[in-house]
A and B are shown apart, each in its own frame.
Chain A
Amino acid sequence: MFADYSWSELGSIFAMQGFAGLILFSVFVLMALGLAIIFGQMGVINMAHGEFMILGAYVTWLTSNLFADHLPGLFGGFFFVAMIAAFLAAALLGALVEWLSIRHLYHRPLDTLLATWGLSLLLQQTYRSVFGAREVGVDLPGWMLGSVALTDIVEIPINGLLVMALTTVITIGVYLLMYRSSIGLRTRAVVQNRSMAGAVGIDTGRVDRLTFAIGCGIAGVAGSAFTMIGSTGPTAGQAYIVDTFLIVVFGGTASLLGTIASAFTISQAQSTLEFFLSGSMAKVLTLVTVVLILMIRPQGLFATKLRR
């Protein structure tokens, strides 16, 4: 397949393909971070994760319309405002959902699956009723479109660079929050031993709500970022949910590092295979590999050691 090409062309293509893998990696990490907190730390199987992302996407769309109508001069910078708004909207909805439903279900993880699945259907139909069944297109400021041409063939998409930068920032943020702050310390304490954490004076209910809200908020930011690369419609969140769970489970549910390692492995495997095979076959092979590895190592790539 490569016989007709010169070495420099091949080099460029492999560089581009490597970069495509890195973008996919960033997208996967961004998708999975929120769920890694909610599912990994709290054990809640949040089937509505995709819908929280789409909430972020719709908030971004609303913000972009608002800026286009009222503040056209500042349109170039609307995306940063939109991401903050997306975080707040998704976090608030997350807190509300936790208070209404999830907090009653912490001892019944399988029921959280049903409750959040129902929630995802509710949210989908709500989006459909409010925003219409058709997809909406988010207008992006000019500087976020297009690519940086390094050579004739190697062109780096700007939105890919932005997603990578955002992923790095959020990953560091989550790391600091979970492992270097008092909130994180309390969260981990509640996860490890709820009654003991309560006994030493931690308000477990409040910690749960905060953790759930942060996880949902990060999903909202991810959704906001994905308006650059994907579609915004009532059911668009469904496209992400399988990959997201796959990454979190494959990485080992309670480990941030595991999530990142897992996203890296799956994204590189998939983008390499996609280059040599058809897209559907690449997906099948990736899934088969993940299933085989999970059969041998059910706890995932990285597992935190817990005293059971």
Chain B
Amino acid sequence: MSRESRSTLPDEPCTDRRRRTLLAGAVALALAASVPVARAQDVNTTGLAVTEDTVTVGILHSVTGTMAISETGSVQAEKLAIEQINAAGGVLGRQIEYIQEDGASDWPTFAEKAKKLLVNDKVAAVFGCWTSASRKAVLPVFEQYNGMLYYPTFYEGLEQSPNVIYTGQEATQQILAGIDWVAETKGAESFYLLGSDYIWPRTSNKIARKHIEKLGLKVVGEDYYPLGHTQFNSVINKIKLKKPDVIYAIVVGGSNVAFYKQLKAAGIDMTREDPLLLTISVTEDEIRGIGGDNIEGAYAAMKYFQSLDNPNNEAFVAAFKERWGDDIVIGDVTQAAYLGPWLWKAAVEKAGSFDIDEVRKASPGIEMDTAPEGYVRIHENHHLWSKLRIGHAQADGQYEVVYETADLMEPDPFPKGYQ
């Protein structure tokens, strides 16, 4: 997808506010009409766990093991959304109950628990998974037993399943506009690509490299380090030697902490922006481990930052803090996880049924203008239309939003010319 085509998106959020108001009214009417009468056998023809006044869903994340660090926020967000939906009257008049399973940072366990949720518990939807590896592990289970998974993480794309709704951004949404921004606004001409050594950073950097070269700019270095690597002095020296304008960093997990601490210790002060650092992997969650002082001045390209200034987000952050404590921080994926239950509720109510096939049919075109990130809409390809923002890291561990795309970015999980 080129920059030109992005600026001419078919339907722009602010241009059809009237239609959405109408739609919302229609949904409310339908809801009011259907709540007292819809009997369980009418809204559930496939034997899901739906009774006259409850519906059961699954939450499937790691709360033990390595990935617990990242997935805890998603679990909190999904529970908050479910509680809020229940407080507002539930889905089709039914209160949501959830069964939580622990994937334990182990991919076969994810598959086993997914099967348990679908086959034994007959849940109507599952909110879960974080790493691509866990999603790939549960995918065959969801396709075989026809379940519906709401997956929150930004990821590498190259996937589109009828049984998954991807509420995070796929790679092109996160990468292209970020590189355009740094090239246009900061006049960047040379890039050093750096990442942890697995599928997401490698695929993302491949897309980044193609895009950088399309813009006529230069990639002066590309490097990968094993997950958990803690010694980055050599690559920092290489960066000093190559003098790129931009360090494009996709380092994940604990390695992040080592990388940014050592970058600072080696005298690369990111507030001077020489070189500038742009990352797509450090959310506010990661900064807690890195320390705001160590990453101050870096830029991140994502769809959500806790500091986003809009009424939806203010309410969301306040509710999140009230529910989970004042010292909590909210990152991009946490927000995407929060969208899952709401999008599912909207699809169920549009379909007037909990049946997976009906929910799938109803999903494309579902809109949500109460999302903390602003307006989102489900695309035919089960990903979300969403904006990209650039955040500037502050010493207090928050990002200040310095840019957002004018239009929603179309999700493009199989980008032509980037593979």
A residues in contact (CB < 8 Å) with B: 5, 9, 13, 16-17, 19-20, 23-24, 27, 125, 128, 132-139, 145-147, 149, 153, 155, 157-160, 226, 228-236, 238-240, 270-271, 274-275, 278-280, 282-283
List which B46-75 residues lie within 8 A (CB) of chain A. 63-66, 68-69, 72
Question: Is B289 touching A17 in the complex (CB atoms < 8 A)?
Answer: no
Alpha-carbon distance A238/B255, docked complex (angstroms):
12
**Which of the 9-residue segments B12-20, B184-192, B236-244 touches chain A?**
B236-244
Residue of B224, B262, B288 touching A135 (CB-CB under 8 A)? B288
Question: Is A16 touching B267 in the complex (CB atoms < 8 A)?
Answer: no
Minimum distance in angstroms from A26 CB to a CB of chain B: 11
Alpha-carbon distance A240/B240, docked complex (angstroms):
27
Question: Is B267 touching A146 in the complex (CB atoms < 8 A)?
Answer: yes
Question: Is B68 touching A128 in the complex (CB atoms < 8 A)?
Answer: yes
Question: Is A279 touching B262 in the complex (CB atoms < 8 A)?
Answer: no
Q: If the complex has contacts A17-B237, A134-B69, A157-B266, are A280 and B258 also in contact, measured as CB distance less than 8 A?
A: no
Minimum distance in angstroms from B213 CB to a CB of chain A: 19
Question: Is B240 touching A128 in the complex (CB atoms < 8 A)?
Answer: no
Question: Is A13 touching B258 in the complex (CB atoms < 8 A)?
Answer: no
Question: Is B235 touching A139 in the complex (CB atoms < 8 A)?
Answer: no
Question: Is B237 touching A16 in the complex (CB atoms < 8 A)?
Answer: yes
List which B252-306 residues lie within 8 A (CB) of chain A. 254-258, 261-262, 264-267, 285-286, 288-291, 293-294
Q: If the complex has contacts A230-B258, A278-B224, are A136 and B289 also in contact, measured as CB distance less than 8 A?
A: yes
Question: Is B285 touching A134 in the complex (CB atoms < 8 A)?
Answer: yes
Q: If the complex has contacts A17-B234, A155-B266, A279-B235, are A137 and B291 also in contact, measured as CB distance less than 8 A?
A: yes
Subset of 8 A-B contacts with CB under 8 Å: A16-B237, A136-B288, A137-B290, A157-B267, A231-B256, A271-B234, A279-B224, A279-B229
Extra A-B contacts (6), CB below 8 Å, given A230-B258, A235-B254? A5-B241, A20-B233, A128-B64, A137-B290, A160-B233, A229-B258
Residue of A16, A147, A231, A274 touching B258 (CB-CB under 8 A)? A231
Question: Is A275 touching B234 in the complex (CB atoms < 8 A)?
Answer: yes
Interface centre among B231, B258, B291 (most CB of A within 10 A): B231
Chain B residues contacting A271 (CB-CB under 8 Å) are: 231, 233-234
Closest to B291 in A: A137
Interface centre among A27, A125, A155 (most CB of B within 10 A): A155
Question: Is B223 touching A278 in the complex (CB atoms < 8 A)?
Answer: yes
Question: Is A230 touching B230 in the complex (CB atoms < 8 A)?
Answer: yes
B414 at the interface (CB under 8 A from A): no
B197 at the interface (CB under 8 A from A): yes
Chain A residues contacting B226 (CB-CB under 8 Å) are: 279-280, 283
Q: How many residues of B contact A (CB 8 A)?
A: 44
Residue of A17, A134, A159, A238 touching B288 (CB-CB under 8 A)? A134
Q: If the complex has contacts A133-B69, A147-B266, A239-B228, are A139 and B234 also in contact, measured as CB distance less than 8 A?
A: no
Question: Is B66 touching A137 in the complex (CB atoms < 8 A)?
Answer: no
Question: Is B289 touching A229 in the complex (CB atoms < 8 A)?
Answer: no
Chain B residues contacting A128 (CB-CB under 8 Å) are: 64, 68
B98 at the interface (CB under 8 A from A): no
Question: Is A135 touching B291 in the complex (CB atoms < 8 A)?
Answer: no
Interface centre among A9, A160, A235 (most CB of B within 10 A): A235
Chain B residues contacting A9 (CB-CB under 8 Å) are: 241
Question: Is A233 touching B265 in the complex (CB atoms < 8 A)?
Answer: no
Question: Is B233 touching A158 in the complex (CB atoms < 8 A)?
Answer: no
Residue of B68, B225, B240, B290 touching A279 (CB-CB under 8 A)? B225
Question: Is B264 touching A24 in the complex (CB atoms < 8 A)?
Answer: no
List which B177-230 residues lie within 8 A (CB) of chain A. 197, 222-226, 228-230
Chain A residues contacting B236 (CB-CB under 8 Å) are: 20
Closest to A226 in B: B230
Closest to A281 in B: B224
Chain A residues contacting B63 (CB-CB under 8 Å) are: 133
Minimum distance in angstroms from A209 CB to a CB of chain B: 31
Question: Is A279 touching B258 in the complex (CB atoms < 8 A)?
Answer: no
Alpha-carbon distance A265/B261, docked complex (angstroms):
25
Closest to A17 in B: B237
Which 9 A-B residue pairings sit nearest by Cβ, starting from the closest?
A135-B289, A231-B257, A20-B233, A157-B265, A279-B225, A155-B267, A274-B234, A133-B68, A231-B254
Question: Is B265 touching A147 in the complex (CB atoms < 8 A)?
Answer: yes
Question: Is A153 touching B240 in the complex (CB atoms < 8 A)?
Answer: yes
Alpha-carbon distance A212/B57, docked complex (angstroms):
50
Residue of B64, B233, B255, B264 touching A125 (CB-CB under 8 A)? B64
Question: Is A233 touching B241 in the complex (CB atoms < 8 A)?
Answer: no
Closest to B286 in A: A135
Closest to B228 in A: A239
Minimum distance in angstroms from A238 CB to a CB of chain B: 7
Alpha-carbon distance A137/B258, docked complex (angstroms):
11
Chain A residues contacting B68 (CB-CB under 8 Å) are: 128, 133, 234
Alpha-carbon distance A234/B241, docked complex (angstroms):
36
Residue of A133, A149, A228, A238 touching B261 (CB-CB under 8 A)? A228
Q: If the complex has contacts A135-B69, A135-B289, A231-B289, are A159 and B265 also in contact, measured as CB distance less than 8 A?
A: yes
Alpha-carbon distance A218/B226, docked complex (angstroms):
27
